[in-house]
Structure 1
Amino acid sequence: VKDGIVTWEMQGLDYPLLSGGIPPYEPRGCQRGISYSWYLYSPLRVKYPYIRGALIDLYREARANHSDPVDAWTSLVENPVSRKRWQTARGKGGLRRSDWDTVVEIISASMVHTIKKHGPDRIAGFSPIPAMSMISYASGARLMQLIGGISLSFYDWYCDLPTASPETWGEQTDVQESADWYHSKMLVSMGANIGMTRTPDCHFLAEARHNGTKLWVFSPDFSQVAKYADEWVAVNTGQDGAWWMAVNHVLLTEFHHQKQTPYFINYTKKFTDAPFLVEINQDDNGRVRPGQLLRAGRLKQYSDIEHGEWKFLMWDETTDGPKMPMGSSGDRWGTEKGKWNLLLKDGKDGSTIDPQLSFIKENDGVVQIELDNFAAGGICTRGVPVKTLTMADGTEVTVTTAYDLLMAQYGVNRGLAGEYPASYDDEDAPYTPAWSEKYTGTGRDVLIRFAREWGTTAEHTEGKCTILIGAGINHWYHANLMYRAGIHALMFCGCIGKNG
């Protein structure tokens, strides 16, 4: 700053080093930050409040007839002619400079009227990301809380809420920091134009490549991040889900079935819900479909436990029977503390559990179940291995594991009867590499090679594969499904919760 005028912007140079093995956060340069003075001195900068001309004319007339601002606003908003006049003026310009007292009065009067007429929960407010200005954000958020209004998040502003995160983990976007990209040995960027939207962190991408990391970019256009890529795959717009579903088909086939990768299998047993028992139900029309997770409280051995309807079961290989692991919803809200964890121990007697992922080798039979084919429409029928359990009330329930259902859903041919694909080249069977071609526009050979590289890298590094994902995915209506397809690839290969 010279003589009170901002002359240029510099990057911050006071970031502490995380460790000797990670590049420093500096330089954290960004085009948005380095152009800050443009915002200050631009002739387009808005320095005063503006209000629609049609509205301010009506409000001034109303104030001349009403001493109370709330009464003045009520006379406008409840008059169809007046209301239509300023609403139809929207989008046509006509904004006039006003003063703060006037606009604050109108805002306040409209809020009071809304609360009296419709209730406080009809008022919603939101701000950009809280880190932008804590005082600015907190003042508005506190106002919403005090009046009983609704606080929206900055995700609503950007329209890029990653709903798959709470759907999968119950937590919102709890991801690693950008410096951890350096630890990864395989990076995938999808819907995230790092060079443009995460400029201060982009140097970690380049540094990771110098550290031996391979970068794949899935983008329909040659974007700014694509120039960093070792391999750029022009997946058709909005078809990332089809790509990852086919990748998962290959991963499950080659790294879980044909070869049971020890690290992947152990990770899947310990950190996913794949071993949980799922009911197989038959309706009145004879249609057999997967149902809900089997509740522990339905079994005689667990019928007396607290919140048994919110605790679930795995099949223990050691005892060859069902057991109830800790960490279910019922443990979160139970009176007995210390069981809200991922320890593979029985929640009732504390005995160790060795989860059985699949009933493929030992079962009470194979049942043909119906699975929805949302791509082509209709259903496909595939066999899953099952066991039969007797409930406390004497009824018998057929169950399988979530893992066996995943194998069936992804079409992994394990020699069971049903409409399973014969090979990767089966174009009609959902989720094969050949099936994905008509959606992604990308050759099956490229997808198979990527899946094998992903699985091999994760196997040798114990999960050092990362997906960088952003608004390019989140803006899609079914963004959660594209997200979750990628999350499956991370889970199947033990990548979540690992540095890199």
Structure 2
Amino acid sequence: MGWIQDLVKPQQRVWEEFYRNRWAHDRVVRSTHGVNCTGGCSWAVYVKDGIITWEMQQTDYPLLESKLPPYEPRGCQRGISASWYVYSPIRVKYPYVRGRLLEYWREARARHSNPVEAWASIVEDAEKRRKYQWARGKGGFQRSTWDEVLELIAAACLYTARKWGPDRVAGFSPIPAMSYLSYAAGSRFLQLFGGFNMSFYDWYADLPNAFPEVWGDQTDVCESADWYNGKFIVSMGSNLNMTRTPDVHFISEARHEGAKFVVISPDFSQVAKYSDWWIPIKAGQDLPFWMAVNHVILKEFYVDRQVPYFIDYVKRYTDLPFLVELVPDGNAYRMRKLVRANRLARYADVTNGDWKMVVLDARTGEPRMPKGQVGFRWDKEKGKWNLKMEDGLDDSPIDPVLSLLGQHDEVVQVRFFDHGEKRWLLRGVPAKRLQLKDGSTILVTTAFDLHMAHFGLSRGLPGDYPASYDDDVPYTPAWQEKYTGIGRATVTRFAREFARNAEVTQGRSMVIIGASVNHWYHNNLIYRAVINALILCGCCGRNGGGMNHYVGQEKLTLIAPWTSLAFALDWVKPPRRQQSPIWHYVNSDQWRYEASFTDYDSIPPGARWAQGHSVDLVAKAVRLGWMPWYPQFNRNPLELVREAEAAGAKTEAEIVQYVVDQLKQGKLRFAVEDPDAPENWPRVWFIWRGNAIQSSAKGHEFFLRHYLGTHDNAVAPERAKDRVKVVRYREPAPRGKMDLVIDINFRMDSSALYSDIVLPTAFWYEKNDLNTTDLHSFVHPLGQAVPPVWEAKTDWEIFKALAKKVSQLAPLVFPEPVRDLVATPLMHDTPDELAQPEVQDWAQGECDLVPGKTMPHLQVVDRDYVNLYHRFISLGPRIKADGVSGNGVQIPMERFYDELLEGPVGGSPDPRRTRCVEWNGQKYPSLEDALDAANVLLHLAPET
């Protein structure tokens, strides 16, 4: 070893100076990561000589309560290396334009003094349009200037609004909670312009459909600190050590506190390694496993013995006691609907009687109408939308009967479809005769009795019931073995431990579930099977229990004021917001490559909805107001209003009636019914804070072919031609619907590579913003540690600059305010929930066209393009008049708006105070800077 020679003398310890210099810093800024991570960790960002050098976890989280472990330490390997992005070689440094398009633009600008006419000369030239579209995805970007690209984009937007309508301008950005104001910048611009925002949570397949199906709301889950309260914790489809790194310590601490941790996973994942019990289920077969779990729970905790806590819970908080009508079907019966209160003499005249159901009261032996149903929410008489088990008519107490067994009039055979074997099962169900207000009678049972029959619990009744757990009949432990690969003894033991723990702890059995389950086609059925078990065991709504879905940072804690600011509700209402899955399915022409539903799946005989081609059902959903669709109609909505006014319409009601008449007469059609007609194409697409092309595209090759008009590798044959009945099938399919695609990004991802224009945006440590998450209740700031590098701008500054450019060019196209017609769907958390007790289609002559009832709402709004910039940078007066709302709760804002007006006009953005701006002689709270907007949000937020 004598050939080794020290290059430095260790005894001089010169390495210490290098080490000190590496970690030296001038200042520390609190920030976080504006990325789709539910961790939502707070970080200290260290800056030296204007350069970010490193970051470290913050450790000053407030303690929620003394009985819970602290939240910190929070962070992960991904977070602590985020600063490398700032100076990464893939960082977008300057504005870039596709070379072929930039060449055409500069030529057009040399010929046309009007930028809007310059853009028209390009997109109305079929050959030029085809050539720059074909260049997409093939490189050839050229560096441009901010002024040049902003003018090009503004001209394209204004041209589109004039030619086709502002509802042809689309914007996609995901997960607002990861950076509130960066999302709001683009959405505010789009809504002021008249464009639309596309949804993200459902498009990412992150939204758990079962939640709105069961509870009527999107997603509501516990914070990770509540994991510590759980005593039997199940993880499935969620690799907590990897994807919930900052929070998984609560699982470890819960185990130290005595909790049992079970992992259901096909592979021996990171989280399985740390479990007390790993159940290696076959991939995608969670549903039969949990159906068998429900079978065991019902058998041993409802039939063999009855647990008082469980019985009380399901009687008070579920629909299991409600009465369901049974109707004859051949030699048996089938279940129909819940019995409506207004069918009974006692409740014949109650308001919203179609939306109030009945239970059988054990005290009186008569049907009664409990409070808390949706009909009470929108009733004129207030104070009865609660879960008191009292009659909504006279406030008398109700003791709902859970099962009719033992007090039934007869036992009837009810049909249940076995999807696995594609057969009908006949199972005995106890039933009673119920007299209606007209003197006739119907046969009814409880939802609980149907539940028992569905899961195969005979309770001594006749029919196709299993005799034991060992019978291979739905949904026994033996039945699930062929699907899951899990033995019946394992399932039985799991169900007993799960339910017994819930019994002893009063509901502290918990399921943590994630994307690996939610991304299956039948995810809603899997989730509902799990939810069913949790409800039967009284776990939902209990600390340490319930269904906890974590896929994406979807929790907008400050949702009430943020919604008004982000969608410009302080200036114009209503907003245009689009459901992305159906929009992409139709506009990217994926429907053309599909056959009818029954070509792929078997359905029970007589099924009403699972018939025909999916695209026809999409069109029906739009036509009846169930789903939004933009572009709205096959005509420009600005022109549509002008036509109505030219025909004599003066008021908003008259304009709406003109449009309704046009639809009745077939002179106007919904754009979704002819999506391949050029007048119905989306034309301009903004992408920011996300990767819409390739990365999150479902059907990427179809995006390339039909959206972009560039090279693709799609190989599927078209199959829809002879199967669609409502939507028009045009031949050949169009290629290249989008006139302009703009990507705002700090890295060259796949969306950037396929876009026409790429704009450099700020990294998370280069801007001021806000961040919240599902997994804790803190509001984190994204503090600007350094200004954006190179020529990058924050999202707020980019869209503010674009708004200014639009206002500068607007006199060339829209010198005066114009009126726009906005169609919006029937909305959740509004009286629209009661729009139709029966599904009727006006297009089939089954009912009349009534906006907001049998079709979308239609409203006229003013678009002031000349003052679009002024509106962008100021909080409008409508928020003072209308207040803000969250989850259907309206909150007045008059006093708080007036407090904002007390701020000074002008000056520099200040985190300690708000400012004001003045234009056209009026003073408004300032939104000129992202810091101003953050201050306004925090001032107005009732949540904080």
Instruction: Give the TM-score category using the shorter length.
Output: over 0.9
- Tell me what 1:371 maps to: 416
List aligned pairs for 1:98-497, cutoff 5 A.
98-156=144-202, 158-283=204-329, 288-427=333-472, 429-497=473-541
Q: Describe the superposition over 1:230-277 as per-residue Cα deviations: whole angstroms up to 9, x where unpaired.
A: 111222222222221111111111111111111111100001111111
User: Do the aligned residues in 2 keep the contact of 1:121 with 1:148 (CA within 8 Å)?
Assistant: yes
Partners of 1:249 and 1:79 lie apart in 2 by 66
Partners of 2:137 and 2:202 lie apart in 1 by 21
Cα–Cα, structure 1 residues 271 and 371, in superposed 2: closer, same or farther, change >3 Å? same
What TM-score do you get using the length of structure 2 for normalisation?
Answer: 0.51
User: Do the aligned residues in 1 keep the contact of 2:348 with 2:437 (CA within 8 Å)?
Assistant: yes
Q: Secondary structure at the match of 2:445?
A: strand
User: Do the aligned residues in 2 keep the contact of 1:127 with 1:157 (CA within 8 Å)?
Assistant: no
Cα–Cα, structure 1 residues 101 and 291, in superposed 2: closer, same or farther, change >3 Å? farther
Cα–Cα, structure 1 residues 17 and 419, in superposed 2: closer, same or farther, change >3 Å? same
Partners of 1:381 and 1:103 lie apart in 2 by 68
Q: Which has the higher helix share?
A: 1
User: Do the aligned residues in 1 keep the contact of 2:332 with 2:412 (CA within 8 Å)?
Assistant: no
Cα–Cα, structure 1 residues 488 and 58, in superposed 2: closer, same or farther, change >3 Å? farther
- Segment drifting more, 369-378 vs 444-453: 369-378
Cα–Cα, structure 1 residues 28 and 395, in superposed 2: closer, same or farther, change >3 Å? same
Q: Secondary structure at the match of 2:444?
A: strand
Partners of 1:133 and 1:6 lie apart in 2 by 20
Residue identity matched to 1:496: C
Partners of 2:149 and 2:434 lie apart in 1 by 68
- Segment drifting more, 232-241 vs 62-71: 62-71
Kindly indicate whether structure 1 or structure 2 has the higher relative contact order, using CA contacts under 8 Å at least 6 residues apart: 2
Partners of 2:114 and 2:266 lie apart in 1 by 57
CA drift at 1:74: 4.1
CA drift at 1:82: 3.9
Residue identity matched to 1:434: A
CA drift at 1:208: 1.1
User: Do the aligned residues in 1 keep the contact of 2:282 with 2:485 (CA within 8 Å)?
Assistant: yes
Q: Secondary structure at the match of 2:516?
A: helix
- Segment drifting more, 31-40 vs 155-164: 155-164
Partners of 1:424 and 1:67 lie apart in 2 by 81
Q: Secondary structure at the match of 1:254?
A: helix
Partners of 2:383 and 2:421 lie apart in 1 by 47
Q: Secondary structure at the match of 2:406?
A: coil
CA drift at 1:81: 4.0
Residue identity matched to 1:380: L
Partners of 2:286 and 2:530 lie apart in 1 by 9
Q: Secondary structure at the match of 2:342?
A: helix
Partners of 2:401 and 2:186 lie apart in 1 by 51
Cα–Cα, structure 1 residues 211 and 48, in superposed 2: closer, same or farther, change >3 Å? farther
Residue identity matched to 1:142: R
Partners of 1:83 and 1:243 lie apart in 2 by 54
CA drift at 1:318: 1.0
Cα–Cα, structure 1 residues 254 and 106, in superposed 2: closer, same or farther, change >3 Å? farther
Q: Describe the superposition over 1:213-236 as per-residue Cα deviations: whole angstroms up to 9, x where unpaired.
A: 111111222222222211112222
Partners of 1:433 and 1:54 lie apart in 2 by 64
Q: Secondary structure at the match of 1:279?
A: strand
Cα–Cα, structure 1 residues 192 and 119, in superposed 2: closer, same or farther, change >3 Å? farther
Q: Secondary structure at the match of 2:238?
A: coil
CA drift at 1:67: 4.0
Residue identity matched to 1:186: F
Q: Secondary structure at the match of 1:200?
A: coil
CA drift at 1:287: 5.7
Q: Describe the superposition over 1:32-84 as per-residue Cα deviations: whole angstroms up to 9, x where unpaired.
A: 32112111122122233344444444444444454444444444445554444
Q: Describe the superposition over 1:348-385 as per-residue Cα deviations: whole angstroms up to 9, x where unpaired.
A: 01111101111111101111111122222232221211
User: Do the aligned residues in 2 keep the contact of 1:128 with 1:157 (CA within 8 Å)?
Assistant: no
User: Do the aligned residues in 2 keep the contact of 1:324 with 1:347 (CA within 8 Å)?
Assistant: yes
Q: Describe the superposition over 1:263-298 as per-residue Cα deviations: whole angstroms up to 9, x where unpaired.
A: 111100001111111111225x56621111110011
Partners of 2:426 and 2:95 lie apart in 1 by 63
Q: How many residues align?
A: 498
Partners of 2:281 and 2:252 lie apart in 1 by 23
Where structure 2 has 5 or more consecutive residues not aligned to the other structure, the ranges are: 1-46, 545-944
% of aligned pairs identical? 59
Partners of 2:166 and 2:503 lie apart in 1 by 54
- Segment drifting more, 417-426 vs 358-367: 417-426
CA drift at 1:486: 0.9
- Segment drifting more, 44-53 vs 235-244: 44-53
Where structure 1 has 5 or more consecutive residues not aligned to the other structure, the ranges are: none
Partners of 1:425 and 1:118 lie apart in 2 by 65
Partners of 1:379 and 1:55 lie apart in 2 by 61
Q: Describe the superposition over 1:476-499 as per-residue Cα deviations: whole angstroms up to 9, x where unpaired.
A: 222211111111111000001111
Residue identity matched to 1:357: L
Residue identity matched to 1:482: I
CA drift at 1:319: 0.7
Residue identity matched to 1:168: V
Q: Secondary structure at the match of 1:368?
A: strand
Partners of 1:395 and 1:72 lie apart in 2 by 73
Q: Describe the superposition over 1:194-222 as per-residue Cα deviations: whole angstroms up to 9, x where unpaired.
A: 12222211111111111111111112222
Partners of 1:43 and 1:109 lie apart in 2 by 32
The structure having more radius of gyration, on CA atoms, is: 2
Q: Secondary structure at the match of 1:476?
A: coil
Q: Describe the superposition over 1:448-467 as per-residue Cα deviations: whole angstroms up to 9, x where unpaired.
A: 11111101110110100111
User: Do the aligned residues in 1 keep the contact of 2:404 with 2:431 (CA within 8 Å)?
Assistant: yes
User: Do the aligned residues in 2 keep the contact of 1:129 with 1:154 (CA within 8 Å)?
Assistant: yes
Partners of 1:264 and 1:192 lie apart in 2 by 28
What TM-score do you get using the length of structure 1 for normalisation?
Answer: 0.94
Residue identity matched to 1:456: R
